[in-house]
Amino acid sequence: MDAQHTIRRQISCVGIGLHSGNKVNLTLKPAPADFGIRFRRTDLGSHEVPATVQNLAGIQLATGLANNEVSVETVEHLLAALVSVGIDNLRIELNSPEVPIMDGSAAPFVYLIHEAGVKRLQTPRKYLKIVRPIAISRGDKRIALFPSDHFKVTYSISYDHPLLRHQSRTLRITEESFAEEIAPARTFTFLKDVEMLRQNGLALGGSLDNAIVLGETGVLNNALRYEDEFVRHKILDAVGDLALVGYPVIGHLVAHRAGHALHTEFAAKILEESQAWRLVESPFEPVSAPVGLPVKDMAHRLAN
Ligand SMILES: [Zn+2]
């Protein structure tokens, strides 16, 4: 049995909101078993917003949540860090609408969680294990989950830009692989879009300190952290957005040219497709596919 985890002690940091440019205080506090991940806006009272698909709101450039008119924005990098370290239960307090952008990656949050320490609770963790494929596509954007004994992500992107073109990566997500290969990958944007964002009152806190900015032929920043930092950041975003299903997912996520809108639509679809998964207490627990498989699937199984 794997147990649920929280953090050992309260910890805080200060950063700026990407869109508002305002200073934000972020505090992480331990929480009991089965509490889940919940946000609280200390500037708006005691109402809590659970980090679940039911509270999705305002998905454009980042993933936002809202409940009872209390909103929090840009939650995905922090959620990705929590999933990777295996934090199931946490109170997250903010004094502003946005999770601070830090350096545009999840590395500062992984560091913060490690500084707070991880505490094992006495209650079993439940995993959402995929037993039959789930997929959606919108035009040339696609996302799917397939059965696997691990949480694995394959992501591919293609852009009409000399530095990006086509990038693809597959990685089994563990605490170690996430910390070393994914967490430091920063968010990216195109210089031509920055002006448009600013005119719309967005990205006011954005700078070369918290995003990779792509000009016509290269990056404006001094250097990339990885040659394929862009696709690595997309994996980071997908891991964070998938956290909104409320359980660690055991399956192989495959995405092509997706983004927050498709990731979060997919997270909601997973919960709807309850025939496609089982809640289990171990990633390796054998689970049979549900009865009543369509004939096509049955034929495939017989042939294999
Ligand atoms: Zn991101």
56-83 per-position pLDDT tens digit: 997 667 889 999 889 999 999 999 999 9
Tell how far the Cα of 234 is from the centroid of ligand 1, in angstroms: 7
Known active-site residue 260: yes
The count of residues in the chain is: 304
CA dihedral 261→74→106→209, nearest 10 degrees, is 110
Tell how far the Cα of 244 is from the centroid of ligand 1, in angstroms: 15
Rounded to whole angstroms, the Cα distance separating 70 from 20 reads 16
Residue with tokens 């404006």: 220
Q: pLDDT tens-digit profile of 169-180?
A: 999 999 999 999
pLDDT value for 163? 85
CA nearest to 244, candidates 273, 213, 220, 266: 266
Tell how far the Cα of 293 is from the centroid of ligand 1, in angstroms: 37
Tell how far the Cα of 302 is from the centroid of ligand 1, in angstroms: 42
Phi, psi values for residue 207, rounded to 5° = -160, 180
Q: pLDDT tens-digit profile of 234-274?
A: 999 999 999 999 999 999 999 999 999 999 999 999 999 99
CA nearest to 212, candidates 237, 235, 185, 231: 185
Rounded to whole angstroms, the Cα distance separating 43 from 32 reads 24
Residue with tokens 């289990």: 280
Q: pLDDT tens-digit profile of 143-156?
A: 999 999 999 999 99
Tokens linked to 286? 């054998």
Tokens linked to 191? 């210089």
Rounded to whole angstroms, the Cα distance separating 82 from 97 reads 19
SS3 214: strand
